[in-house]
Structures are given as C-alpha cells and as structure tokens.
Amino acid sequence: MFSDTSLLSSDELMLVLTRFSDAVTDAPPERQKVPCYHFDICTRQGERLGECTLRVGYIRRVYYGGHIGYGIDEAHRGHHYAEAACRILFRLARAHGMDHVYITCRPDNLPSRRTCERLGGELLETVELPENNDMREHGLERVCVFRYDLRSEAPARQLRFLALRERPELKDAAADWFHDKWGVPREAYLECMDAYLKGETEYGWYLCLDGDRIVGGLGVIENDFHDRKDLSPNVCAVYTEADRRGLGVAGRLLDLAVKDLRAKGISPVYLVTDHTGFYERYGWEFYCMARGDGEPEPTRLYIHR
C-alpha cells in the first residue's frame, strides 16, 4: 500500500518517514481510519522543522479531519515550511491515484488558513463537526474545509525557464524583482543586465516565468562580493518564490545557467552560500571558504566543473 518515500524532497525540504499506520475498518464509521503516513519535516541538512501527515483514501471522517495535517515547531514558523511540505505531499497523494485531497483548519487559525489559501485550494465550507466526531474531544466545533484538485500538475507545466536575452523586454521587471528579493540597488542589477543584453559580457541572467510572472531567477557576475577574486564567474541572487518551491525551480535555473556558460566556453563556475546539502544535488562541490566583503565570518564557496 505504501509508496517509496525516498524522493519526497524539494529544493529546501525533505520529508523523513517516521512511521505509518494501517487502516482501521472494524469500527463504527466515526472511528474508522484510512492508512496514514507520518513524516518529520526537515531541512536538506536534516534539521527538524515540524511534522506532517498524509491520509490515503476517502471516508467521511477524513472530510472533517483532512487528508493532510501539519505542524511547524514554533522556532521555525513564518517561513512557509508547511506550504512547501504540503506541495510535496501532493506528489505522494498522486502516486496513490488520489484525484483530490482535503485540508481542514480551525476558522480562527489564521496562519494555517493562509497556508491553505496559498496552496490554491477551494474553500468548500466552514462546517460544524458531527456530535460524534472525535475532534470535539480536543475542543474543536467547526472547521474550514479546503479541496485541492490533483488531476493536473498545471503549475509545473506552465513554468518557462529562459535567459534574459530571450525576453529583453523583461529587464526592468527583472531588476525590480531581484531588488525586492535581495535589497541590492535596482541600478546595480540594471547595469549588469544591460552589459549582458548588449553583448559586453556572457555572464547572463536567467528567469523562471509562470505566465508573465517572475517566480524564480539567478544571475552570473564576476564576483559575488567576497575575497576570492580569482574564482570567477559567480552565480548570484538565487531565489524562488514561496508558492513555487517544491517544483525544482532553483535546480533547473542552475542547470540552465551552467549549460549556457559551458556552451560559451566558460567553466568552471562558482557560488558562495551558507547552505550545505542543497547545491550538491545539482553537481556542485564544496571548494573552499571565502570571506564576504565586510563579513566577520567566512562562508562556503562551491564549484561546478
């Protein structure tokens, strides 16, 4: 019944199976259960952030309790980790042939409700729990019921990955977007992009579009503000919008940039990061430590050969 869970990960998270529970069918309807996965939500480096569950199957009780449950440890809240975990669980539900799932939350739990809304679900109703529902034992009386259609993976199919030279009219929007994400002056991005678009450099800028919306991006520059000036060029400003994480956006952008540069005879490529365990997935290797300009502590520098 239970699928292989070894690939349940995204660019930033992985789900670690802690246990699974079997179905309970020889009980009154209000006490019946479907099979259920139990996961720890962890960073790619293995730090625990919270937990989540996926119930597989359709019974009336699941309508009220939801197929997916989640909880983020207090120290890690506010980073959309629950949303990212749910998007991973959608894959597992599809693998079981499920065409839709329900997620429910308390009407007054605004952070959880916003998570449900960002995931793109349809709010079916705010419903009063049946008198014999065991969630009443925990003080719940009503829940919001969100439904998610899993029959289409449209968000992943609609994404387009491109170099800025393919859509030069996006230059201003891209500069605004990178400035908003990283706080670097807009003019600095425009200067680099102009040089690239005019053919003054082959160090490019790469975007992921969902329709006309920029949902991911990165650039390539001579040096990403560190003391190893001899190690260039550098990938910089890697970012994916929270609602498009879990779709491999960053990995595909990195692959696009590396292949584009290699085709122009530019290799190896470097980047600096505080992450461990993420860039290794895409062929990057730790190379050395480097000190950022004005930074008291060194950071990790990676190479893609």
Write the pLDDT tens digit of every residue in 184-220: 999 999 999 999 999 999 999 999 998 889 999 999 9
- The verdict on domain 156-304 having CATH code 3.40.630.30 is yes
Amino acid 254 reads L
Asked whether the predicted pLDDT for residue 254 surpasses 60, the reply is yes
In whole angstroms, give the CA distance from residue 84 to residue 78: 12
Alpha helices for 28-170 (secondary structure H) = 60-65, 81-95, 110-118, 154-158
216 DSSP β-pair partners: 208, 240
Task: Determine the pLDDT at residue 62.
Answer: 94
Task: Determine the pLDDT at residue 52.
Answer: 98
Task: Compute the average pLDDT of residues 230-255.
Answer: 89
Asked whether the predicted pLDDT for residue 84 surpasses 60, the reply is yes
The pLDDT tens digits of the residues spanning 140-178 come to: 999 999 999 888 654 444 689 999 999 999 999 999 999
In whole angstroms, give the CA distance from residue 205 to residue 174: 9
First to last CA, the chain: 42
Q: Verify cis geometry, omega within 30 degrees of 0, for the bond prior to 107.
A: no
Other C-beta atoms within 10 Å of 48: how many? 12
Task: Determine the pLDDT at residue 245.
Answer: 75
Task: Determine the pLDDT at residue 121.
Answer: 85
In whole angstroms, give the CA distance from residue 206 to residue 161: 7
| CA distances for 4 relative to 8, 11, 278, angstroms | 9, 19, 21
Task: Determine the pLDDT at residue 118.
Answer: 86
Task: Determine the pLDDT at residue 156.
Answer: 46
Which residues make up the CATH 3.40.630.30 domain(s) of the chain?
13-152, 156-304
Task: Determine the pLDDT at residue 29.
Answer: 62
Task: Determine the pLDDT at residue 157.
Answer: 45
The pTM of this model reads: 0.57
Topology, domain 13-152:
Aminopeptidase (3.40.630)
Task: Determine the pLDDT at residue 25.
Answer: 66
